[in-house]
Structure 1
Amino acid sequence: MESSLPSTQILDSGESAERKNEAKNYSEVMSTLPKVKGWRGYDYYLYQGFWYDTFFLEGLVSVQEHFHPQSTDIFVASSPKTGTTWLKALTFAILTRSRLSGSTTSSLLTKMPHDCVPFLESDLAQDPSNRDLAIPLVSTHVPYSCLPQSIISSSCKIIYICRDAKDAFVSLWYFLSAHQRSENVEPLPLEEAFELFCNGIANFGPYWDHVLGYWRASLEFPEKILFLTYEEMKKDTAAHVKKLAEFMGYSFTLEEEEGGEVQKIISMCSFEELSSLEVNKNAVHRAPGTSIPIQNSVFFRKGEIGDWANHLTPEMGARLDDIMEKKLKGSGLKLPR
């Protein structure tokens, strides 16, 4: 999802002198950054230790300078394609369950999870008011060390999810390949994409540094940051839903548990249920600042653990495992395989 640089936007829209100066400063920063040809043929820039295309870099710089959270905000953080959609659905369902009555249905049945929980670096970078303040949920792919200082220094809570790097890579490759086809562009061959990923080059990558940043922060601030893995959540979803609710400050009452509320949320947010909804099968989604429609269905591919083995050779799998083991060594973190 690439957009024009701010300077181009300003020439077209006649914005204020302050905004023009901001765009000039942004362009000057861009010109000094290391650059490589990344996924989908776009230029990727190395900024504060991580790679971004121009769209996400512009959004990140904007929120670093201007975003101020509510004290009650809860951030759902992840590297792309590591369980983001599912975690958004679960946290939204947990937080809004008290609003539902016999005549009211959850927005998750008519809107995709990404339209229920705004993205920090896209939705809110484009328009900070583009959210329902009564629902204190914000999503982000931004690495922990790159988050706006206003978030890090606040009392806001952060829920982070990650998964086995091999499955994360395959899911990302499929997702971006679908984007390229929608633009009538030949998808990047899997082998080429794999080389980029192993070299840390992907939006918000390197993947291992993304994971390590939130892991170390969760050890330092356990009351503020909850670190989860997709595999453990799939293994015992009920326990994790209750853990999420407690961490968010929306614990289930005994009456709710006995009434099956936990299982209702699990069922409503399951891959099978969400992927079968009309909105997620046939509707389209547009990221703010872009004109490219994204089929909602591309956010729901399989949701399986271990699917990487159907796409990567054993040698490729072993190589990525070895990279992750070396990068995580000494951290105390051992991701499921």
Structure 2
Amino acid sequence: MAASSTPRFTKSHSNVVLENGAEDEEYEKLSHESKELLLSLPREKGWGHPYFYSYQDIWYSPGLIQAIISFQNHFQSKESDIIITSLPKSGTTWLKALTFAIVNRNRFSPSQQNHPLLTSNVHDLVPFFEVNYYGNNQIPNLSNLPEPRLFGTHVPFNSLPDSIMKSKCKIIYICRNPFDHFVSFWIFINKVIPSSMPKLSREEAFERYSNGVTEFGPFWIHMLRYWRGSKVMPNKVMFLTYEDLKGDINFFLKRMAEFLGIPFNSDEESNGVIESIIELCSFEKMKELEVNKNGKFLQKYENKHFFRKGEVGDWVNHFSPWMEEKLSKVIEDKLGGSGLSF
């Protein structure tokens, strides 16, 4: 994929103005080092942001690149850490909730009326490295968080910090059929996009998605790197699909608990603990919670936008025949022969 030319900036006093004359507020908040780095990176038009830049083979908005570099340089993993990873809009919210409930089931009974998942958005309970902790030039001290520490990230496998790769911490990755993933991602971005940015038509967004130009994309690179990581390090990386969970949630919940080293015992199984977790974390339950209908994440994104349909196969209501044909070819070209299929 050919990237556009290096961006040209003009300086006017302390402000940096893009070549179209519009001030890029996100760019202005970056450190000098990050601004210098951007000048050397390939650039394409973004969606949700004016531009994406290619860093370590992945497309990001400028602020995310700075946050990821800080994450890579400063995060110190612990052996007990649990990291939920995904592309955005791939079942992240659901997987975070399930993992939180499994890990904390002795501390918070999944059937109790004041369970944290009933009063807090799950992204506040399982924060993202790149936005909650390392965004906005932060270098947080995470050493005193209660263990096991639960984190979320959309950062691809090859860009995770060395401390994560060298530790015995656990990584659970979830991805989604690219057909449904595109629809969910496109609708979400158009809901949360700043009012100053134009919304993308389905066709324009689809072209960019098919070319790999999405935040944290190309989707095939993101998926394949975690897929291969799970094959090389099966005790460290667990690979799931959204379709797996929807198809047999009971089975995969048990697998997750075993992978994390905290399997359900016979008493828990006979007492309905697994079923209680499934109900607590169900799409229908979470969508109707007051915190998810009216709250905000990072004081920026309305929590309700994280809950749309939660269905498999909704893409048929949005794809035209040429879109189906084109994305099928992309998937075959990029994932064919890998063993990963949907």
Q: Settle same-fold status: TM greater than 0.5.
A: yes
CA distance in 1, matches of 2:283, 2:139: 30
| Cα distance in structure 1, aligned partners of 2:259 and 2:302 | 33
2:183 and 2:197 mapped to 1: Cα distance? Answer: 19
Counterpart pick for 2:272 among 257, 260, 266: 260
Aligned with residue 159 of structure 1, among 153, 172, 191:
172
The residue type paired with residue 121 of structure 1 is E
Q: Contact between 2:230 and 2:237, CA under 8 Å: does it hold in 1?
A: yes
Check whether the contact 2:88–2:185 (CA below 8 A) recurs between aligned residues.
yes
CA shift in 2, pair 1:116/1:171, >3 Å: same
**What amino acid does structure 1 have at the position aligned with 2:263?**
S
Provide, for residues 31-77 of structure 1, a one-character-per-residue CA deviation record: whole Å limited to 9, x for no partner: 10011111124210001101000121111111011111122101101
Written as runs of structure 1 = structure 2, the 5 A alignment for 1:27-176 is: 27-100=35-108, 105-125=114-134, 126-129=138-141, 132-176=145-189
Contact 2:82 2:148 in 1 (8 A): no
1:17 maps to which residue? none
Matches within 5 A, 1:280-319: 280-286=292-298, 293-319=300-326
C-alpha separation in 1, matches of 2:25 and 2:72: 18
When normalised by structure 2's length, the TM-score is: 0.87
Q: In the alignment, does 2:334 pair up with 1:327? A: yes
User: 3-state SS of the aligned residue for 1:80?
Assistant: coil
Q: Which runs of 5+ in 1 are unaligned?
A: 10-22, 287-291
Percent identity of equivalent pairs: 45
Amino acid corresponding to residue 65 of structure 1 in structure 2: N
RMSD over aligned Cα, in angstroms? 1.9
Structure 2 CA distance for aligned equivalents of residues 274 and 229 of structure 1: 20
Q: Please identify, of 256-265 and 116-125, the stretch whose mean Cα deviation from structure 2 is larger.
A: 116-125
Secondary structure class of the residue paired with 1:327: helix
**Offset of residue 318 of structure 1:** 2.2
Q: Establish whether residue 251 from structure 1 lines up as the match of residue 263 from structure 2.
A: yes
| Alpha-carbon distance between aligned partners in 2 of 1:53 and 1:277, rounded to the nearest angstrom | 31
Shift of 1:25: 2.5
1:4 equivalent in structure 2? 26
Query: 3-state SS of the aligned residue for 2:48?
Result: helix
Using structure 1 for the length normalisation, give the TM-score: 0.89
Distance in 1 (CA, whole Å) between partners of 2:43 and 2:63 is 14
Distance in 2 separating the partners of 1:38 and 1:173:
12
> 1:103, CA displacement in angstroms?
7.0
Q: 2:297 is aligned with what amino acid? A: H
CA distance in 2, matches of 1:265, 1:276: 16
Q: Which amino acid aligns with 2:328?
A: D
Distance in 1 between the 2:75 and 2:256 partners?
A: 25
Q: Given the alignment of the two structures, is residue 219 of structure 1 paired with residue 231 of structure 2, yes or no?
A: yes
Partners of 1:285 and 1:187 in 2: CA distance: 21
The answer (yes or no) to whether the contact 1:93–1:106 under 8 Å persists in 2 is: no
Q: Aligned to 1:239, what secondary structure does the other structure show?
A: helix
Residues 3, 54 of structure 1: 8 Å contact kept:
no
Tell me the SS of whatever aligns to 2:140.
coil
- Structure 1 distance, partners of 2:192, 2:294, is 16
Report the equivalent of 1:177.
Answer: 190
**Farther off after superposition, 126-135 or 191-200:** 126-135
Higher fraction of helix: 1
How far apart are the structure 2 equivalents of 1:239 and 1:105? Answer: 27
Partner-residue secondary structure (3-state), 2:240 = strand
1:276-304 CA distance string (max 9 Å, x none): 10000111121xxxxx6211000000000
- 5+ unaligned residues in a row in structure 2: which ranges? 1-23
CA–CA separation in structure 2 for the residues paired with 1:275 and 1:41 = 27
Deviation at 1:3, TM superposition (A): 6.4
| Equivalent AA in structure 2 for residue 273 of structure 1 | K
Aligned residue for 1:14? none
Query: How many Å separate the matches in 1 of 2:47 and 2:70?
Result: 23
Match of 1:200?
212
Distance across 1 between alignment mates of 2:256 and 2:83 = 12
Cα pair distance change 1:77/1:119, threshold 3 Å:
same
Q: SS at 1:227's partner residue? A: strand
